[in-house]
Amino acid sequence: MVRSLGVGLALGVLGAAGLPALAQAQSADPPGRVARLSEFDGTVTYAPYSSSGNSEWRYADRNRPLTTGDAVWVDRNSRAEMHVGGTAVRMGASTSVTLSAVTDQNVQLNVTQGTVGVRLRSFDPNQPYEIDTPNLAFVPSQAGEYRVDVDPNGVTTVSVWRGAGTAYGQGASVPLQQGQRVAFVGQNLTQQQTGPLVADVFDQWMRDRDAREDASVSARYVPRDMTGFESLDDYGSWQETSSYGSVWVPSNVPSGWAPYRTGHWVWVDPWGWTWVDEAPWGFAPYHYGRWAYVDARWCWVPGPVAVRPVYAPALVGWVGGNSGGNQWGVSFAAGGVGLAWFALGPHDPYRPAYHASSSYVTNINRSTIVRTTNITNNITNINNVYVNRNVRGAVSTMPAQAFVQGRAVGAPAALAAPPRGTQTWRVGNTPGVAPVQQSVFGNSRPAAGAPPAGVFNRQVLATRAPVVRGAPSRELTSNLHAVPNAGGAPLVFGQNGQQVRNPGAGRANGPAPVAPRVTVVSTRGPVGAPIGANGVLPAQPALGPTGALGATPAHGGLPA
């Protein structure tokens, strides 16, 4: 059977050979937070999670959301910064990091080699952070500044600049306090003598980045646990409006610009189609809040500061279709067919295309809608008045093939007249098109090479088992349509929603897929003490003036 996506676009509904319906709808809501690579120097690559084992390394994309199962490699003479909400994770040269869990309950990072520094701005015992290494699992127990160096020769050094935490090994644990630096060998927390905790160039870089965030103007207007807020200060200004209160206005945008115009679309499980903007500030304003057109300019309305932000893949309305069902394609006035969308406004509810409980829908809209009267009623009303749809130049468009292949969005094309018998194009919550393998990567460039063989496959210790990444829900995948000439077969989803390797798909570049091996250790083993800990809490180390960082730097960090 052949069904049409929009007017004049024939698309085959995917059956057993394409996108079979899942055996049952996924019961769990997707996580409300994600990670973002916010800054990097040198060569940084990432490998999106693939349940089919078809990992592939790509050059880092600043605004691509990262979540459970994704991996990051920071090459020699390079460094990178990643944020998960208000927590900053800095990575030094030759560092491997796998996000083994990014959920609402916890964040776990597998570090099999290199240097990682964490600024934990706030601590919630119900949402712990954990760094898992071949020698130990380190769990902070306070807000603070931490550093973990993993030597490929089998030594892991933990430095606590501020705060406290515990290193867990096989049958043992060692608490660490502010000012301590301890090196461990093996998995039973055998300790080596180390020098004093003295800052090096990597530590100075972390402190400089922290100082910028501490002085953030945007933190007065948005919650600090909103991923990506730290990039707003340098690229726009906060202004007051009578209708929406404090809004953020981007600077130096081109004439005719509109939100969700400069970037591309990718497919990210479990949310599905996800916007990746090319602007250095383009994360928070596209995954939280709403956009409004005020005084002939676009303004971002962040929503209440006191409400915990909930991540969304893209806060847009999809234009097209004549039935309000699965057919959301549009026809262009000059001929051809494709997809069209616009930014949701402050009073527009976001209706997830993926499975979401009523509480999830309420929370994601409570954190972004300025005035919420009855979210439930609004969610089910497909006849909402979308103010932004009528703003001149607000609707972005692109051909369906280019959309699925993750190409950059170009200049918008004029839409043809709406279907016969209707006054206007309808608005839905999904484009309704199926992803192909290229959709997972978008327009990010393939990496010239993969990380050293075996780096990501070293065994690590952890206090809890890795999280299984959420699969796309039946609500999301059951009504997707294949796009003809999209550059590959549609992704195939198994009965559990996980991606299945497509027949004929190319092998990933690199010796092996990212597949960390995890051994779970108990947190109730005997408690030891660091070498030199005689009951006296050490004083907080002083960083000293820039350029006078001490003669014995901690090992690791960015090479000169």
Q: Is the pLDDT of residue 538 over 60?
A: no
Highest mean pLDDT among 5-14, 226-235, 320-329: 226-235
Q: Please indicate whether residue 114 or residue 307 has the higher confidence score (pLDDT).
A: 114
Tracing tokens 């030094």 back to the chain, one arrives at 92
* Chain centre to alpha carbon of residue 298: 25
Ranges of H-type helices in 223-299? 284-287
Can you give the pLDDT at residue 52?
60
Kindly state the average pLDDT of the residues 195-199: 91
Kindly state the average pLDDT of the residues 365-378: 57
The H or E element that residue 206 is part of is helix 201-214
DSSP states of 363-384: HHHHTT-SS-S-HHHHHT-TT-
- Model confidence at 133, in pLDDT bands (50, 70, 90)? very high
Kindly state the average pLDDT of the residues 164-190: 97
- Model confidence at 89, in pLDDT bands (50, 70, 90)? very high
CA distance 99 to 168: 19
- Model confidence at 378, in pLDDT bands (50, 70, 90)? very low
Q: Is the pLDDT of residue 325 over 60?
A: no
Write the CB contacts of 53 (distance below 8 Å, at least 6 apart in sequence).
Answer: 501, 508, 513, 515
- Model confidence at 6, in pLDDT bands (50, 70, 90)? very low
Kindly state the average pLDDT of the residues 72-78: 98
Can you give the pLDDT at residue 26?
39
- Model confidence at 560, in pLDDT bands (50, 70, 90)? very low
- Model confidence at 473, in pLDDT bands (50, 70, 90)? confident
Q: Is the pLDDT of residue 242 over 50?
A: yes
Give the pair of three-digit tokens for residue 184. Answer: 């461990």
Q: Please indicate whether residue 25 or residue 233 has the higher confidence score (pLDDT).
A: 233
Kindly state the average pLDDT of the residues 56-80: 96
Write the CB contacts of 437 (distance below 8 Å, at least 6 apart in sequence).
Answer: 54, 488, 489, 491, 502, 505
Please indicate, yes or no, whether the overall pTM of this predicted structure exceeds 0.85: yes
Can you give the pLDDT at residue 511?
42
- Model confidence at 98, in pLDDT bands (50, 70, 90)? very high
pLDDT tens string 328-350: 578 888 878 899 999 999 999 99
